[in-house]
Structure 1
Amino acid sequence: MVREKRREDLCVTVPTLFRCPISMDVMKSPVSLCTGVTYDRSSIEKWLSLGHNTCPATMQTLLSTHTTPNLTLRRLIHLWLSHPDATPSPSSFPLISKHRVTEVLNGPVNYDSLAKIVDFMKVSDENLKFIANSNDAVARFVDFFGNCSEIKVCESIVEILDLILSENGAREKLNSLLLKSDKDCLSSFILVLRNGSMKSKIKSARILESIAVNSESQRKIAEKEGILYELYSLINVENDRLAIQAGLSALLAISTSRLVRKELIRFGIIKTVGEILSSFDFTSTVRAVIEKALGILEMVATCTEGREAISEDKNCVVEIVKRLMKCSNVATEHGITVIWSVSCLARDHTAQEKVMKVNGLTKVLLVMQSDCSVSTRQMCRELVKVLRVKNSKSCLASYETRTTHITPC
């Protein structure tokens, strides 16, 4: 009872500055938005993943959802937590030196040692570079990752690798280490994608996207049994913008062969992407999601099976037309390419009718007059020809006559 009472008394003494405005808990990883307000990383990422584009404290519209680590506040919190009278345990935020990190790296790799490394890396850019530039340390993490079956340990290594990605040359280094033939790191990624936390799944997808630097690495990742399906499953997470964006980005990076695209079509990616397009109202925070969703459709539209599936889906073509000129130039050009593929290349009458029903001809004419690429403008011209013919046939469908029209000589 005495201990509980003391905890309650101490909780009152927590400086307001150290509390996250969302969770009201002491911040573990303080990050600042463009509005200048600082939140705990986990809390603000959850807020943004729900599709919000405002600062929770000020309700200002965010010009950018990029977060910046508040290192000064992090150090202050660490110092406050290291006080012996503080309620939280100092071990939860270990302040260790580079010498101690070296000792940890040379010792047994386990969850506790990895947690210390993660905290050390998050304190400052200097600490992050210290780990990232140590080839022996990174190689050791990868070696252990390739032989690990404990989910918490795998998630810790994924967090370390994700932090390293921000450093110059990290993509190439991790590509070389993670995809070596004598390691089975891809199985560990599948384990995290299947059983890990949503944060770890997102980071795994981000790493896989980053190491798909060439055709060989793209093939290795895509051909690993189970990995395509787990990434596809990630884009089925309802209303989690960050998960959907990470999954779409990874799939775009590795889906370079027709076999991979056909497999995605078999999973039902056309229907899923159509639902993504229809469920997200346009805001600056979902622009990347819409661009990548349309990019996926453009990719699968390069094969016959993809064009057929897009035409047959009840939402897909309609949602693409609705998004034209409403998101970004990138999204518009992806959308025009998909519509052209099904309407002009495949000459699918069902797709043409769907485009016409949602005023597609007018939208295409507007795109053609906008600041689009030469290839997009050419596709628009071809679409206008096809849709005008479709429109004239529709207008004359109920008109019947037996009059013989004679063309003068």
Structure 2
Amino acid sequence: MVRDVSLYVTVPSFFRCPISLDVMKSPVSLCTGVTYDRTSIQRWLDSGNNTCPATMQVLKSKELVPNRTLQRLIQIWSDSVQTQNGTRVDSAANVVVTREEAEALVKEMRAQKEKIDHLSKLICFSKESEENCEFLAKFEGFVEMLVGFLDGDKDVNFLERVVRVFVMILNKVGDYKALRLLILKQSNDASHDCLSSLLLVLRQGRSVNSRVGVIKIIEAIALDAESKQILSEKEGFLLELVKLISLEKDPSLIEASLSCLTAISMSKRVKIKLINLKIIGELRKLLTEGQNASVSIIEKALKLLEMVASFREGRAEFCNDAACVEAVMNKVLKVSSEATEHAVMILWSACYLFRDRVAQDAVVKSNGLTKILLLMQSNCSPGVRQMSGDLLKIFRVTSMSNSCLSSYDTKTTHIMPF
């Protein structure tokens, strides 16, 4: 960004906003003649102030007039310091786009002019402020135009830019139901192929941000059973999401994929598809080999495992994978209260509700009894405490050789020695 340049070169003082002291990206002048960066002065005025921050004069008018001359000077200066002290500045980040220019860019894009270049400029415009993102999101026909680009273009480089703009304004769109209809309308018609374009970016996108962006868009429109069914039935989509939770992938991709899979996997039909795609094995790898995985990733992995193991097919695969059972047991008390609840629910379902002996043996071998006893002495939720008590009853029966457990009262407040 332009402000990074100030770390390496001397910035002319009149290029800096009097409020933020950063290089101005969209210089505008007040009626007092003082120029500020649009974002800074707009925030000042929106806070209820009616004076010029530099002169403290009462403003006769709050009109902001773009300072085109200063903007061009800043642009020329930015271009002249592309390389400074051996550090190259990203030229795309130096583009200064006003709202008036953004509006003109959108109109030109509608006329099919310079779409890639204009999208890059709109990305810079969106990065400037939340207000700019909202401006584009509310601009008449802009969202529909982006969907149209997804609908008809198969150039990955172009589609990545479309996705980046889309994600930056996503939180400002507001009506996700309307967005869902736009993207999924006539999904069986070959002439409407937004999902294929999104899947193409997911598979071939060079930027992690654009691939994560695709997943965020998909999750945003997965609002009801119908949309989730359409998404899950898109050929290759579920498979790609499962591939993305591999340990070799970027953590942000793993987390986004887990979140999306959880969002669309409410029906038995989808869960069965995931089981057939060996999702349980992939989740086991995350839980056993992902030593550096974040708390959020572990929580999401356990939540998804809880969902797919709730059906007979998933439960059978989970219970027959002793390493997976042990991995879940090892996450009790080690990650977070949320992770503990998901882990205990998985174990309770397999070992107590369905009395699977293989799963029970795997828990015992992983020193699960001691961990459950410790869990009951912790500040866990009433539900977790109750499930832990149920598990102890089961293990007391299956571990009669241990005299301590055979006489253990689950209501005790002490941990019996072994």
> Is the pair's TM-score, using the shorter chain for normalization, greater than 0.5?
yes
Q: Is the CA contact 1:275–1:315 (under 8 Å) kept in the aligned structure 2?
A: no
Shift of 1:390: 1.7
Q: SS of 2:239's equivalent?
A: helix
Q: Give 1:252's match in structure 2, choosing from 262, 284, 292.
A: 262
Q: Deviations over 1:85-132 (max 9, x none)?
A: 233685663212222222221222621121111111111222111101
Give the structure 1 partner of residue 116 of structure 2.
111
> Which of these residues, 7, 28, 51, is aligned with residue 16 of structure 1?
7
> How far is the alpha carbon of 1:177 from its aligned partner?
2.2
* Structure with higher RCO (Cα < 8 A, 6+ apart): 1
Structure 1 window deviating more from structure 2 (333-342 vs 376-385): it is 376-385
Task: Quote the offset at 1:202 in angstroms.
Answer: 1.4
Amino acid at match of 1:100: E
Tell me if the contact between 2:247 and 2:286 (Cα under 8 Å) persists in the aligned partners. Answer: no
| Counterpart amino acid of residue 16 in structure 1 | L
Range with greater deviation from structure 2 (150-159 or 208-217): 208-217
| Deviation larger for 303-312 or 180-189 | 180-189
Maintained 8 Å contact 1:282/1:326: no
1:131 aligns with 2:141: no
2:323 equivalent in structure 1: 315
Checking the alignment, whether the CA contact within 8 Å between 1:158 and 1:204 is kept in structure 2 is yes
Q: 1:394 to 1:268 in 2, by over 3 A?
A: farther
- Match of residue 187 from structure 1: 196
State the shift of 1:228 in Å: 0.5
Provide the C-alpha distance between the structure 1 equivalents of 2:134 and 2:289, rounded to a whole number of angstroms: 40
Q: Does 1:85 align with 2:52?
A: no
Identity of aligned residues (%): 36
Are residue 291 (structure 1) and residue 292 (structure 2) matched? no
Shift, 1:159, TM fit: 0.7
- 1:153 alignment partner, one of 144, 158, 174: 158
Counterpart of 1:101, as a letter, is A
Q: Secondary structure at the match of 1:165?
A: helix
Deviation at 1:335, TM superposition (A): 0.3
- AA aligned to 1:240 is D
How far has the Cα of 1:282 moved from its partner?
6.4
The 8 Å contact of residues 154 and 192 in structure 1, kept in 2 or not, is answered as yes
Extract unaligned runs of 5+ from structure 2.
Answer: 10-38, 41-70, 83-88, 405-418
Deviations 1:113-153 (A, max 9, x none): 21111111111222111101124101110112122211011
My pick for the range that moved more, 100-109 or 113-122, is 100-109
Name the residue aligned to 1:36.
Answer: none
Q: Hey, what's the Cα distance between the residues in 1 that align with 2:241 and 2:322? A: 24
Q: Does 1:275 align with 2:285?
A: yes
Q: 1:200 to 1:365 in 2, by over 3 A?
A: same
Tell me what 1:121 maps to. Answer: 126
Larger CA deviation: 85-94 vs 234-243: 85-94
Structure 1, 292-301 or 139-148: larger mean CA deviation: 139-148
Tell me how far 1:384 sits from its aligned partner.
1.0
Give the gaps of 5 or more residues in structure 1: 1-12, 19-70, 397-409
CA contact (8 A) 1:307 1:346 kept: no
Q: What letter matches 1:339 in structure 2?
A: L
Q: Tell me whether 1:215 sits opposite 2:206 in the alignment.
A: no
**What are the equivalent positions in structure 2 for 1:3-402 lying under 5 Å apart?**
15-16=6-7, 82-83=76-77, 84-87=79-82, 93-107=94-108, 108=112, 110-167=115-172, 169=174, 171-181=176-186, 183-197=192-206, 198-238=208-248, 240-281=250-291, 286-392=294-400
* Residues 307-316 or 88-97, more deviating: 88-97
Moved more, 77-86 or 252-261: 77-86
SS at match of 1:16: coil
- TM-score between both structures, scaled by the size of structure 2: 0.72
Partners of 2:72 and 2:303 in 1: CA distance? 44
Aligned-partner Cα distance in 2 for 1:226–1:300: 19
Amino acid at match of 1:104: L
Structure 1 residue 293: deviation in Å? 0.3
| CA–CA distance in structure 2, aligned partners of residues 289 and 275 of structure 1 | 12
C-alpha distance in structure 2 between counterparts of 1:125 and 1:79, whole Å: 26
* Closer/same/farther in 2, CA of residues 282 and 332 from structure 1, 3 Å limit: farther
The residue number in structure 1 matching 2:411 is: none
When structure 1 is superposed on structure 2, of 265-274 and 291-300 the one drifting more is: 265-274
Give per-residue Cα distances to partners, 1:139-171, cap 9 Å, x unaligned: 110112122211011111111111112326154
The change in CA–CA distance for 1:341 and 1:89 in structure 2 (over 3 A counts) is: closer
Runs (4+) off by over 4 Å: 77-81, 88-92, 393-396
- 2:47 corresponds in structure 1 to none
Distance 2:320 2:400 in 1: 23
Distance (Å, rounded) in 2 between the aligned partners of 1:280 and 1:229 = 21
Secondary structure at the counterpart of residue 181 of structure 1: coil
Q: Distance in 1 between matches of 2:346 and 2:296?
A: 18
Q: Is the 8 A contact 2:92 2:124 kept in 1?
A: no
Q: In 2, are the aligned partners of 1:78 and 1:93 still within 8 Å (CA)?
A: no
Assess if the C-alpha contact under 8 Å between 2:202 and 2:214 holds in 1.
yes
Paired residues, number = 327
1:246-289, Cα deviation, whole Å (9 max, x unpaired): 11001000011112111111111111111111123367xx0110
Identify if the C-alpha distance between structure 1 residues 80 and 320 changes in structure 2 by more than 3 Å, giving closer, same or farther: farther
Taking the aligned partners of 1:155 and 1:308, their CA distance within structure 2 comes to 40
